[in-house]
Structure 1
Amino acid sequence: INGLMHLNQRYDIWLRISKDAVEKGLNSFEPLAKATMMLFKNEMTFIEKMEALYITDADEIEKRLPEIRAIYEARDARTRDLHDEDVDTFYGCTLCQSFAPTNVCVVTPDRVSLCGAINWFDGRAAAKVDPEGPQFAIEKGKCIDPIGGEYEGVNEVAAASSQGEYSQIKLHSFFEYPHTSCGCFEVVGFYIPELDIIAWVDRDYADPAPNGLTFANMAGQTGGGKQVVGFLGIGINYFRSPKFIAADGGWNRVGWMPKHLKDRVIDDIPGDIVDAIATEEDATDLDSLKAFLIEKKHPIVAEWKTKEEAKVKEAGAKTPTAPAAPVPAPVAGAIPAAFPAAGMPAGIPMPVAGMSPGSGGGIKIILKNAKINIEQVIVEQTEE
């Protein structure tokens, strides 16, 4: 329907109608209902009769939501005891390729679709009903990396469906060959190099995260069907997966998420880490987040110490061949030093807190098709 936008993630629905469409007569749900029923009947010819019911009363919606959520919970529960290694077939979805042409959404028992609407059973049903449709079977093939979740069959489909843009995808990796992100994802994960942790923010959280960016800011950098090291879009139910970012530490690498999101998945967070994951009630910037992680003895704090000790040991083992160059004094506004991300390929740009495309002041660096290794960066302040 011209002038109508409809996006949905299960029971989260977003509709926008243009003023031009209203002026041309789109002033009721009837045309939308007729178009929807026509599409269903065309796709699934065994349907003989349909009825479309639209509920706009807020109180009635709130009353029905628990029943609707219970249905989805029951569907999701079916996959809890089924894992990637238990099946020979995964399922792909290309519905989002209209706006993310290189995106390849791979749905497995341990990884729900990015939009959260399709689990492994849903993908199987859709592929059987319409074998030529946007959901299709993927023979997973030989397992290359059981921890990261890399399979020959998935790589082959990735290369074919992404128009050759990508040839490797690790389903349970945040840094190395991560899953592509379309734009419909429910949650975006972002790496905080200053603290060497991964944080998560969902669409319902409007305030800036501790890195100074909002969900909208990061979604723009993450989406489009790209593999973006340092950012990752996921569906909420992936938090419940035992393989949740397994290649990069799982929950032990998570340091922050909005309280409502944490509360939603709290039963699936390991008990020994749940209190060490901050929310906006505990930290709103990097300083307060670092203090919280130290206070709660987050596992990453021990990693900081280990890496610092390794640096000192490595520095002591080297014999200088020339006098060391003087180190300039810290400059206000300089980018803070960051811990290298374990498993992150060399030369990949890293997200830095407070820096976003188009931000005013400071410096602007644009790198295209570049792979750069930098051993040292010195920023000096010149007197006017």
Structure 2
Amino acid sequence: VYGRKMEEDFEPVLERRIHYFTNYGEGLWHVAQRDIMWVRISKDAFAKGFRLKHIGEILFAKFKSEFSAIVDRVQVTIYSDEEKVKEMRETARGYYQKRDDRLKELRDEKVDTFYSCTLCQSFAPTHVCVIAPERVGLCGAVSWLDAKAAFEINPHGSNQPIPKEGELDGVKGQWKSFNDFCFNNSQRSIENVNFYTIMEYPMTSCGCFECILAMVPECNGFMVVNREHSGMTPSGMSFTTLAGTIGGGAQMPGFMGIGKSYLGSPKFVPADGGLGRLVWIPKALKENLRPLLEEAAENAGLGKDFVDKIADETVGTSGEEIMSFLEEKGHPALTMDPLM
């Protein structure tokens, strides 16, 4: 895209709209974001003549019409060559990292406003995402800075400011203003939301989450599974089964969709014990996030070697299977207060 008023801070805002705009097409289905999104084209749509180029035409038209104030020119290129896609993916990941790094100095306590995101309500009508400086949207693609920029672009859009007013529980993270906003924008179905725990009134989940955080009661801790992992987990369910259970705008204590970077946040479920509660994570995700997790563990006083105390699928895929590993490693979750 090109525009005389276009700014680098607006790029992730427009990028996330690809999800929204693609789903305008009949027979088209787009979910998730960044480099892990899925797109499906129905057989009926293909039979009626729909081709890849038409995705480009949809995006071209919608970006020009909805962002005319900042976008003057649009060009859409769809790559299908695997090697070229991998090359472009690495370029994109560099931008993702740059965006994530901007948030490192921001703190929830230093701002008086969080932001909403209701972009996914076409899939999950009762879901309201609340984005804080230390908690990226569960899709992983909308940060507090992105939501702030989106509101500046379109004050009537899906990202709205929510003042932090009427603190009800500072530990669990509950404010009256957030409860009121979520209630009024969830078809009056979600009355209370805690932002620093998943055990009581957790934030709702749509279907675009990068990961799912779930309790493992046998181990007195939590597990996390990412969208790319297809195997079984200690919850007794795969990612797909879990997603079908907790998605759609449901509020389910002990389960919640999250963005990957939230695992490294100082505000990672602090009321539940924080990162020290994490007992299982897929090996590929653990290695991918190792620098982030090691830094977060050191900052939390858990020690850099904490990451190696977290079990993965090579150890086991049930609470019973991983318990001996956790005991051998001296995992801190085993000595914390009971989750339930």
For normalisation by structure 1, the TM-score amounts to 0.76
Which residue of structure 1 aligns with residue 58 of structure 2? 35
Q: Does 1:206 align with 2:230?
A: yes
Which residue of structure 2 aligns with residue 19 of structure 1? 43
Residue by residue over 1:99-156, the C-alpha shift from the partner in whole angstroms, topping out at 9 and shown as x without a partner, is: 2111110011011111111001110111111111112111122433333222222111
Secondary structure of 2:78's partner? coil
**What pairs with 1:252-331 in structure 2 (closer than 5 Å)?**
252-269=276-293, 270=297, 271-303=304-336
Residue by residue over 1:246-273, the C-alpha shift from the partner in whole angstroms, topping out at 9 and shown as x without a partner, is: 0100111110010111112222321252
AA of the residue aligned to 1:165? S
CA distance in 1, matches of 2:41, 2:49: 11
CA distance in 2, matches of 1:162, 1:8: 21
Aligned partner of 1:187 among 206, 211, 219? 211
AA of the residue aligned to 1:139? P
Residue by residue over 1:185-216, the C-alpha shift from the partner in whole angstroms, topping out at 9 and shown as x without a partner, is: 11111112222111111111111112321111
Secondary structure of 2:322's partner? helix
**CA shift for structure 1 position 89:** 1.5
CA distance in 1, matches of 2:32, 2:317: 30
**CA shift for structure 1 position 167:** 2.0
Q: Does 1:84 align with 2:104?
A: no
Q: Does 1:107 align with 2:140?
A: no
**CA shift for structure 1 position 28:** 4.0
Check conservation: 2:113, 2:164, Cα contact below 8 A. yes
CA distance in 2, matches of 1:78, 1:159: 31
CA distance in 2, matches of 1:55, 1:3: 21
Secondary structure of 2:37's partner? strand
Check conservation: 1:186, 1:234, Cα contact below 8 A. yes
Q: Which of the pair has more CA radius of gyration?
A: 1
Distance change in 2, residues 1:65/1:101 (3 Å)? same
Which residue of structure 1 aligns with residue 16 of structure 2? none
Higher deviation after alignment, 113-122 or 39-48: 39-48
**What pairs with 1:1-384 in structure 2 (closer than 5 Å)?**
1-29=25-53, 31-46=54-69, 47-269=71-293, 270=297, 271-303=304-336, 341-342=339-340
Check conservation: 1:207, 1:214, Cα contact below 8 A. yes
Distance change in 2, residues 1:28/1:282 (3 Å)? closer
CA distance in 2, matches of 1:93, 1:233: 14
What stretches of structure 1 of length at least 5 have no aligned partner?
308-339, 343-384
Count of aligned pairs between the two proteins: 306
Which residue of structure 1 aligns with residue 22 of structure 2? none
**CA shift for structure 1 position 88:** 1.5
AA of the residue aligned to 2:131? V
Q: What RMSD in Å do the two structures reach over aligned CA positions? A: 1.6
**CA shift for structure 1 position 12:** 2.2
Which residue of structure 1 aligns with residue 8 of structure 2? none
Secondary structure of 1:138's partner? strand
Distance change in 2, residues 1:152/1:25 (3 Å)? same
What stretches of structure 2 of length at least 5 have no aligned partner?
1-24, 298-303
CA distance in 1, matches of 2:186, 2:28: 28
Check conservation: 1:179, 1:227, Cα contact below 8 A. yes
Q: Which has the higher helix share?
A: 2
Check conservation: 1:251, 1:273, Cα contact below 8 A. no
Residue by residue over 1:202-258, the C-alpha shift from the partner in whole angstroms, topping out at 9 and shown as x without a partner, is: 111111112321111111111111110121111111112111010100111110010
For normalisation by structure 2, the TM-score amounts to 0.86
Check conservation: 1:283, 1:292, Cα contact below 8 A. no
